[in-house]
Structure 1
């Protein structure tokens, strides 16, 4: 297939749904309870709701929304550190747009900007480096965040800053790693999962081999999935096929983008600039060993945490906010007691309502606030985007 509309073909969707229903009918456990599949990536969550996929699938299949939204898992204390850096009088603080409205304990970066801080939205770390070139008398800090998907571009920007001798550029590093996160979820006693839809963009960098432990040690099948409707339906069909046949493997549905061995140049840049932290704190998941990276000593001159004082405090989320339970898959967004009332995209209490990959934003934008839970209608393969909230 060459064109995006081919990945949204209703006829192919109906064929996949028929195959999925046939497999479900042959899996004995489905007669007792739904199968729970975690889509790790927030991009998958939004596609599932945007195209109404959950309403098409049989009731024996239930999606559990994972923590694969890097803005959503950022703890409140790290947002406070961003604000402190942004309010330093010599600093131009640069960030992706998703992070602008994530609430800290006192304010967000957007509120800090309104109060006079020089906070600028950029589309890439190279944009931040260009700002540093254009403002040699100012310190430019880039807020580096994201899984292995965005690590390479950040690392390559640091290497370019070193090559050009740009001394007024630094990185506030909050990059995180996917594998320890999945392991922490699998070790959680409160969650029972039958399989995974693996993250497509992360896998484009790291490949598929790092997921082998999920099958080997935990006995859960994983299929690396693309983001179009047919990608997700085919990935569900592939996971079901493994369960029906008694197999447990890592399979790659997203072969057109994801190489089995990963991207060597990207990984080389990451390993040159970054090293694993002993531990990193996650919103809702607590401290996870080796789940984040920091800058190596050789690049200390580009490390904002070494160049500027930051509070580095642990701040608890508001008691009314249940982002942690949603991130761990324990509850659905619509089950949070403040969802759609005190917490909306206009007045977010938690990051999951802010980010374009947040599960709460997906539920709110595609009908969850109106329905309380997804409508389980089976419409036979309609793949137009689901009606948004009026």
Structure 2
């Protein structure tokens, strides 16, 4: 494939791997005292295991998997609210396919659909807008889910609905942002991290400057990375070189896609439609200040939380994890997926306990698909 093969060239990969091994040795990292680099994005986690990069890099380097899957960090209580919305007879509930199999306390959206709820998978919120045009007698609810990568498309759809006066369209807004959970992880005394591989798709929207605090306030290097194997290997090398040189900077390996200033059109649309929530609950991380987005008052008519009195606008209690499920510990990099006692036994893609096993960006799904389903003891 033109423009893909260049980033998968074995000879070039061997050269970068040799450089990684050399810098790791210069730093003095070993298997007992490795350099711990967190890849924030779940897409990077899958790429690492798909291409076997965890096996090709030296033992003095350890990948720590971060909370970069928006489906995975969604608390179970929000899934329950999705199901409750979908069970309303007047509602056509629309969602991306990733969210369909995420378990709630009662059922998943897939199970609710099997029981007769009108739930439809869409590829874009524009598909939900078209459903609203074609079904004026039904309430069309779009499940707005994702990091800064997907927030612009939802924002633009709300603006379009407002322009057309579509009174039967609303968004259940669960959009979240990347920088606040990184700060929460860095503030956690239990986390030992030496550097970050930053998300590529998110950075395509917001640019690289929102990560300045990582280097400035915490002295940790971060390199925004692409998704091909050579992208990731080069980004790891750039992080290691910063550590070796005693530097802490924000670097952009993915400059062919990511401008440092981000996408001004997307940023403007999001600023018009959303405002920060005072707090938002993350699975495994708890409530994080200013980490979620809600729909501004000027677009209140398109806010499903206001329209149906659900979510953070209604009284709610935290929903505990299923017994034995370690999604929170895996999500925050405290343990690896195979250290969860349920991995591959009580929790499989066919019968998942948690979202990490069914999301296309979930760490458990990556381990199960590319790393085997063998159980490893914790510790």
Tell me the TM-score normalized by structure 1: 0.94
2:346 counterpart residue number: 342
Contact 2:144 2:171 in 1 (8 A): yes
Q: Write out aligned runs for 1:135-150 (5 A).
A: 135-150=135-150
1:100 counterpart residue number: 100
1:354-374: CA deviations, max 9, x gaps?
A: 10000000000012313749x
2:331 counterpart residue number: 327
1:315 counterpart residue number: 319
Give the distance between the partners of 1:25 and 1:304, measured in 2 at CA: 54
1:243 counterpart residue number: 243
2:359 counterpart residue number: 355
Give the distance between the partners of 1:294 and 1:31, measured in 2 at CA: 44
1:156 counterpart residue number: 156
Contact 1:84 1:310 in 2 (8 A): no
**SS of residue paired to 1:26:** helix
**SS of residue paired to 1:202:** helix
**SS of residue paired to 1:280:** strand
1:366 counterpart residue number: 370
Q: Which runs of 5+ in 1 are unaligned?
A: 374-390
2:264 counterpart residue number: 264
**SS of residue paired to 2:374:** helix
Q: 1:159 to 1:246 in 2, by over 3 A?
A: same
1:173-224: CA deviations, max 9, x gaps?
A: 0000111010001111111000000000110011001101101111100000
1:142-177: CA deviations, max 9, x gaps?
A: 000101110000000000011111111000000001
1:234-264: CA deviations, max 9, x gaps?
A: 0001001111111110000000100000110
Is 161-170 or 20-29 further displaced after alignment?
20-29
1:187 counterpart residue number: 187
Give the distance between the partners of 1:29 and 1:343, measured in 2 at CA: 34
Contact 2:282 2:288 in 1 (8 A): yes
Contact 2:41 2:66 in 1 (8 A): yes
1:283 counterpart residue number: 283
1:298 counterpart residue number: 298
1:86-120: CA deviations, max 9, x gaps?
A: 01110000000000000000000111111111000
Give the distance between the partners of 1:95 and 1:31, measured in 2 at CA: 43
Give the distance between the partners of 2:52 and 2:166, measured in 1 at CA: 48
User: Is it true that 1:40 corresponds to 2:44 in the alignment?
Assistant: no
Tell me the TM-score normalized by structure 2: 0.96
Give the distance between the partners of 1:370 and 1:281, measured in 2 at CA: 31
Give the distance between the partners of 1:25 and 1:135, measured in 2 at CA: 63
Q: How many pairs were matched up?
A: 373
Give the distance between the partners of 1:105 and 1:132, measured in 2 at CA: 29
**SS of residue paired to 1:318:** coil
RMSD: 1.3
Give the distance between the partners of 2:77 and 2:16, measured in 1 at CA: 45
**SS of residue paired to 2:270:** helix
